[in-house]
Amino acid sequence: MTQKPSILVARAVFPGVIEKLSQHFVVDANQDDVLFTPDQLKQRLQGKQGVFTTGSERIDAGVLAVCPSLKICANMAVGYNNFDLDAMTAAGVLATNAPDVLTETTADFGFALMMATARRIAESEHFLRAGLWNRWRYDMFTGTEVHGSTLGIVGMGRIGQGIAKRGALGFGMKVIYHNRSQLDAATEAQCHATYVGKEELLRTADHVVLVVPYSAASHHTIGAPELALMKSTATLTNVARGGIVDDAALAKALREGQIAAAGLDVFEGEPSVHPDLLTVPNVVLTPHIASATVGTRRAMANLAADNLIGFLVSCKPVTPLNPQVLP
C-alpha cells in the first residue's frame, strides 16, 4: 500500500477541512493556532510534501533550502505576498492561492467600510458609548455624501469591479478607476467605470478605494505626495494589503485635516498597527476581516485543500500561481 504524503496545516482551520485532508494525507494540524517562528516553521515542514498556509507563513529561499521534500504551498487567501514566488519557482515548488471565492464578500466589506468612513459611523459610536451624547446638533458628525458622489478605485480586478458595480448601480456614483492596464470596453460598460490617470483619480474622487495587489512596485502607492493631491473632503479606504499605504503619512494627513477620513482593514506589519493611527478619531480600523463570512472562509479553506489534493494526488491543482513547475 502506497504511503500517504505528509502535509502541514500551519494555522487552525475548520475541522471538516482537516477531515477532508486526512482522507488523502498524513496531516500535521496546528489546531492550537500557534504562530510559528521561521525556525519553528522550518522544523514542522521537515518531511512534508505540502503545506496549507495563511498570510502569516513566509515561504522563501531560506525555508525552501532546508525543506527539500516540499512540493506545494497552498495559500488560504487570494493574496500571496507571503510567498517568494521566484524562489519557489526556482526550487520547483508549486504555489497556489484562493481567488474568486472571496470576490463578492470582500467587495461587500470594502463598500461597507467606505460608507462607515464617509458617514463617521465608528467615530459616532465611540462618542455614544462614552456617554457624551446629550443633545442633537445640526452639525453633529456630519460626514460626506456617498450617493451621487465620485468613487475612485485603484486596482480594477475582480474585487474592484464588484465595488464599482455596487457604487454605480446601487448608489448612483460616478466611477473612475486606475489600473496597470485599461479594461476592455465591455467590462468598463458593465462596471459603469471610466479609466483615468492616477493623479486625476486622486484629485477628483470623493472616495478613493484601494484594491491593488501588494508587490514591491505597489509599496506605498499612497504616501504623503498622493495624500496631498486628494480633496480635503475625501475619504481613503484600503482593503488591499498593508504596505500599499504609508500608514505614518496617512495618520499625519488625518490629524492635519488633509483628507476627511480613512477606513483601513489592512496595515503595515500587521497585526501591529502604527500607533499614530490609534490616536486619530477620523479613521475606521478593522482587523483584516474583509473576507470574514463563514461561507467565504469555508470556501477559501476548501479551495486550498483542493489544491493540495489535486496536486499531490493527481498533479492537477485548481489555481496554480506558477504552473511552469508542473510536470
Sequence spans of domains, the chain: 6-101+294-325, 103-285
Confidence of residue 327 (pLDDT cuts 50, 70, 90): confident
Peptide bond into 15 cis (omega under 30): no
State the chain's mean pLDDT as an integer: 97
CA–CA separation, 57 and 61 (whole Å): 13
- The string of pLDDT tens digits covering residues 295-326 is 999 999 999 999 999 999 999 999 999 999 99
Q: Write down the CATH number for the domain with range 103-285.
A: 3.40.50.720
**According to the model, what pLDDT value does residue 1 have?**
53
Q: What is the pTM of this model?
A: 0.93
Q: Write down the CATH number for the domain with range 6-101+294-325.
A: 3.40.50.720
Between the alpha carbon of residue 60 and those of residues 63, 89, 102, 207, 264, the distances in Å are 5, 11, 26, 37, 28
CA–CA separation, 75 and 58 (whole Å): 11
Question: Cell numbers at residue 16, please?
Answer: 471538516
Beta-carbon count within 10 A of 106 CB: 25
Confidence of residue 287 (pLDDT cuts 50, 70, 90): very high
CA–CA separation, 271 and 293 (whole Å): 20
Question: Cell numbers at residue 9, please?
Answer: 496545516
Same fold, 6-101+294-325 and 103-285: yes
Whether pLDDT at 105 is above 70: yes
- The string of pLDDT tens digits covering residues 143-155 is 999 999 999 999 9
Q: Give the residue numbers marked as catalytic.
A: 241, 270, 288
CA–CA separation, 91 and 324 (whole Å): 12
Q: Which residue has the cell 471538516?
A: 16
